[in-house]
């Protein structure tokens, strides 16, 4: 680790006006690595929200706001955040959800891990402790883990986790194309293809009625699963044809 390290937290947000303020306030603004204190830049990618998400972010001048002109999906918002991190020379980036389900301490934990360890991509896994997690979500996510494994040959315990840490190498190498929730698997696939080192770190998840109402697995799981499979197959197919 050197003195030029730049760290950011990327938060894709869509209609999260009720919670985004508290999520931003709770996030660490610096992290201590050894004797060094590194500032953390928080980047919120507002994915064309129709509510006051954008206003809530602008009330906090330390956060960078990128407004998507139109709603494009969580994958597109994450891609924009990673692109911003690439352009501005960030050496490590964390992605996390805007609905308040991720613990702020875990963000600092993942930053520490990505800067100290040899890993290029760290996935914050919710599956070391599944207490409080609805059974249907456990089954659904495990099903998606299996789909990802069979399609891309890489196994992780929580493919849909929104909390991930990227090293500079990963920020440079991972270019996702999925606009929707298939981007989580695509990130892991791309890391595998680029021979990046992938590791997992357990994280805590705060389940509230609000956070449970969000996310694709809260809806009709079979339909969401089929849609997810179709998106991954499309990515796999199109990457083979169009490169």
Q: Which residues bind another protein (CB under 8 A)?
A: 45, 64-70, 72, 76, 79-80, 83-84, 87, 177, 179, 238, 241-242
CA distance 66 to 69: 9
- Name the minimum Å distance from CB 45 to another protein: 8
CB 29 within 8 A of CB 48: no
Backbone dihedral angles phi then psi of residue 37, each to the nearest 5 degrees: -110, 120
- Name the minimum Å distance from CB 68 to another protein: 5
In the chain, DSSP assigns E strands to 7-13, 30-33, 36-46, 63-67, 92-95, 121-125, 164-167, 198-202
- Name the minimum Å distance from CB 129 to another protein: 36
- Name the minimum Å distance from CB 60 to another protein: 15
Nearer to another protein, 70 or 135 (CB): 70
Q: How many other C-beta atoms are found inside a 10 Å radius of the C-beta of residue 129?
A: 12
CA distance 156 to 175: 19
Nearer to another protein, 76 or 163 (CB): 76
Nearer to another protein, 101 or 235 (CB): 235
- Name the minimum Å distance from CB 59 to another protein: 15
Nearer to another protein, 42 or 72 (CB): 72
CA distance 80 to 183: 12
Both structure tokens of 43: 């980047």
Nearer to another protein, 65 or 156 (CB): 65
């Amino acid at each position: 680790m050197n003195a030029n390290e730049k760290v950011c937290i990327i938060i894709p947000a869509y209609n999260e006006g009720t919670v985004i303020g508290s999520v931003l306030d709770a996030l660490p603004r610096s992290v201590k690595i050894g004797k060094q204190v590194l500032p953390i830049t928080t980047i919120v990618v507002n994915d064309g929200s129709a509510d006051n998400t954008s206003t809530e972010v602008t009330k906090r001048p330390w956060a960078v706001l990128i407004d998507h002109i139109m709603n494009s999906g969580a994958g597109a918002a994450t891609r924009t955040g990673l692109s911003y991190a690439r352009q501005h020379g960030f050496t490590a980036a964390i992605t996390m959800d805007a609905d308040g389900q991720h613990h702020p301490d875990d963000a600092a934990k993942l930053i520490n891990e990505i800067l100290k360890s040899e890993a290029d991509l760290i996935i914050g896994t919710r599956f070391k402790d599944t207490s409080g997690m609805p059974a249907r979500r456990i089954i659904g996510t495990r099903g998606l883990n299996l789909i990802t494994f069979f399609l891309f040959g890489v196994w992780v315990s929580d493919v849909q986790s929104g909390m991930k840490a990227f090293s500079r190498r990963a920020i440079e190498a991972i270019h996702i194309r999925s606009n929707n929730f298939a981007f989580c698997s695509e990130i892991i696939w791309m890391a595998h293809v680029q021979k990046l080192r992938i590791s997992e770190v357990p994280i805590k998840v705060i389940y509230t009625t609000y956070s449970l109402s969000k996310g694709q697995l809260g809806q009709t799981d079979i339909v969401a699963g089929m849609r997810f499979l179709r998106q991954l197959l499309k990515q796999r197919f199109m990457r083979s044809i169009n490169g």
